[in-house]
Amino acid sequence: MLAAVTLLIGAATNAAPAQSSWSFVILGDTRDGNNTSNGISPNLHALAEKIASLDPRPKLVIVAGDMCNGNCLNTNSPKYPPGGNFTNAAAKAIYAHFFANWKEAMEPVFNYSTSNGIPIYTVRGNHESNDTGQAPIEVLKEAYQEAFSSYVPTNGPYNGLTNDQRGFSWAFTSNNVTFVAADQYFEFDPTYVNGTTPWSGYHSLAQAWVTRQLRDATSPYKILISHEPIFQTVGNGPTAEEQENEVAQHFFGTNIAAMQTRSNFWNDLGDAGTQMYLCGHLHLETVAATTNNHGHTIIQLLAGNGGAPAQEFLNNPEPGVTTFYNNGNILVTNGGNVSVQAAYGFALATVTDEQMTIQYYSLNPTNTSPTDRWIVAAYATQIASAKARPAISLPFDPRAGTFSYTRSDPAGTGLSYQVEKASCLSEIAPGLSDWKVDAAATQTVTAITNNVQTVQVTLSGAKPLSAEDLRSHRGPVGEFNSKKHAPGKAWVPPPSALPGHGAHL
Ligand SMILES: [Zn+2]
């Protein structure tokens, strides 16, 4: 008898159909400085024009907060009234004006008047709540809600009238990517206002809701979006704002209890199959990763280079964090003046069935040409699909009936794996037939590296197999693409590019 084995991969729920390549844009921190009159970065419109000109056209844009400088109650704001006498209505009108300016600058991407263009999904930053870490500014929240909440799914958690996150936190799946956004400015703890960190009044998000959205999704790519970083990649600098860098990258805080909360959070994300945490808050761009206690590596993409007053990159990741990229914000000296040479921009994620590739676009800070100002970084982030076809590593040992393969942790993907065998009728006509699941085959995880498991398979039946069984041959690749699979289960053929896509004996 000649036989072949391959793997059946099944999902508990309907698998997404095959998708052709598509893309989305990641943008963050498009606000202006505190001395602003219009709230938005003067660079935002240039970024919007570039996003709109991308070919192929992105399907959607994700914005990770701090869209406008909402703090017109700051004494160094030109909008600050004589004597500081605001009415709520007057303050709200200023905020609404800022958000209207943002929409106008983004008009090349999406026309909010006609609802034409590339849909934009936003989440709040501290500048859409209260950047000082004090109690939320209610009229700022209202202005944001009126401007943007109708453009996101209203499926956020509802925890009563004072914690109604619908229109603020949201979740949706587009093609093969699940996006979940967690607003960080609902659960304000006033006892922390006079604590040790400037944002310490905010240190929680709707973790149970977030985890449930991610865990229940069957997409091969899962991304969580929020504003403030979870892990530190950037060190403190000399300016007042930069002196707060390290605490500003610890959303949950820095004490022992906060570290435990953070670990639980990162473990939950990884267990749910989340590959990336997208944030902003610092005004530069970094890509880093850290591995949680369960062996899951999650990328933190800090995309805060959307035009806000730039910060230099000071390489100081906390222990366990590996930094892959920064966008090159550096200090430059011009005469007696020291300033940050900024590379403002955005990230572009291109998604296929197998891989998500994220590229980093920047306005070239040293080239003022009106036609050629954009550069794309040589570095790109690669995220493997959780449903990527397993790699079967030969040699197959037919005497022992064993082979091994690698897969993403099923706990994070919702996938199950079965071994299937088929007979080969003859070597003259080497088609395979009579595929059957070898339910008695054993699968043992022998190693875990990050989220990737190595699995040793032993086929059922008496060993060693007979000499007759050991004759090997390799049938045409196409035969693997036409196999039946169990009802309700997805069958993913092993990739034809891999040698040993199926092991024959
Ligand atoms: Zn911020």
Output the pLDDT for position 466.
52
Question: Ligand 1 mean position to 309 CA, how many Å?
Answer: 12
d(CA 374, CA 57): 17
Task: Report pLDDT digits (tens) over 206-223.
Answer: 999 999 999 999 899 999
Residue 413 in any domain: the answer is: yes
- Structure tokens belonging to residue 34: 């505190």
Question: Ligand 1 mean position to 258 CA, how many Å?
Answer: 19
d(CA 480, CA 6): 8
Question: Ligand 1 mean position to 305 CA, how many Å?
Answer: 11
Question: Ligand 1 mean position to 477 CA, how many Å?
Answer: 52
Question: Ligand 1 mean position to 66 CA, how many Å?
Answer: 5
Residue bearing tokens 């309700």: 488
User: Which residues lie near ion ligand 1 (Cβ < 5 Å)?
Assistant: 66, 125-126, 281
Residue 366 in any domain: the answer is: no
Paired strand residues for 178: 173, 222
395 with 307, same domain: the answer is: no
Among 327, 352, 377, give the residue marking a domain's end. Answer: 352
- The Cβ of residue 31 has, within 10 Å, a number of other Cβ atoms equal to 30
Is residue 290 within 8 A of residue 298, CB to CB? The reply is: yes
Question: Ligand 1 mean position to 282 CA, how many Å?
Answer: 7
Residue bearing tokens 């401007």: 147
Question: Ligand 1 mean position to 126 CA, how many Å?
Answer: 5
Q: For 35-44, what is the mean pLDDT? A: 92
Residue 172 in any domain: the answer is: yes
Question: Ligand 1 mean position to 131 CA, how many Å?
Answer: 7
Q: How many domains does the chain have?
A: 2
Question: Ligand 1 mean position to 125 CA, how many Å?
Answer: 5
198 with 342, same domain: the answer is: yes
Question: Ligand 1 mean position to 290 CA, how many Å?
Answer: 22
78 with 173, same domain: the answer is: yes
Average pLDDT value for the chain: 82
- Domain containing 498 equals 2-15+389-504
Question: Ligand 1 mean position to 253 CA, how many Å?
Answer: 15
Which CATH number characterizes residue 343's domain?
3.60.21.10
**Higher per-residue confidence, 467 vs 306:** 306
**Higher per-residue confidence, 198 vs 165:** 165
Residue 292 in any domain: the answer is: yes
195 with 325, same domain: the answer is: yes
272 with 413, same domain: the answer is: no
11 with 41, same domain: the answer is: no
Task: Report pLDDT digits (tens) over 361-373.
Answer: 999 888 877 777 9
203 with 321, same domain: the answer is: yes
**Higher per-residue confidence, 482 vs 267:** 267
Among 300, 326, 352, give the residue marking a domain's end. Answer: 352
202 with 273, same domain: the answer is: yes
**CA distance to 165, 264, 287, 370, per residue, from 158 (Å):** 6, 23, 32, 48
Burial bucket for residue 94 (CB in 10 Å: 0-12, 13-18, 19+): buried
Tell me whether strands 276-279 and 297-303 are parallel, antiparallel or unpaired: parallel
Residue 214 in any domain: the answer is: yes
9 with 36, same domain: the answer is: no
Output the pLDDT for position 391.
62
252 with 115, same domain: the answer is: yes
- Structure tokens belonging to residue 388: 């990527």
Torsion of CA 188, 194, 199, 201, to 10 degrees: -10
Question: Ligand 1 mean position to 235 CA, how many Å?
Answer: 16
Residue 477 in any domain: the answer is: yes
Question: Ligand 1 mean position to 324 CA, how many Å?
Answer: 22
- Say which residues have a Cβ less than 8 Å from residue 100's Cβ, sequence separation at least 6: 147
Task: Report pLDDT digits (tens) over 311-330.
Answer: 999 999 999 999 999 999 99
Task: Report pLDDT digits (tens) over 428-462.
Answer: 555 566 667 788 888 899 887 656 778 888 888 87
Among 299, 328, 352, give the residue marking a domain's end. Answer: 352
Question: Ligand 1 mean position to 68 CA, how many Å?
Answer: 10
Residue 102 in any domain: the answer is: yes
449 with 347, same domain: the answer is: no
Output the pLDDT for position 13.
36
Question: Ligand 1 mean position to 470 CA, how many Å?
Answer: 64
Question: Ligand 1 mean position to 81 CA, how many Å?
Answer: 24
Question: Ligand 1 mean position to 28 CA, how many Å?
Answer: 9
Question: Ligand 1 mean position to 231 CA, how many Å?
Answer: 15
Question: Ligand 1 mean position to 273 CA, how many Å?
Answer: 27
Question: Ligand 1 mean position to 71 CA, how many Å?
Answer: 12
127 with 198, same domain: the answer is: yes
Residue bearing tokens 């009415």: 87
Residue 346 in any domain: the answer is: yes
Of 170, 34, 198, 49, which Cα lies nearest the Cα of 110?
A: 49
Question: Ligand 1 mean position to 363 CA, how many Å?
Answer: 21
d(CA 363, CA 45): 12
Question: Ligand 1 mean position to 268 CA, how many Å?
Answer: 24
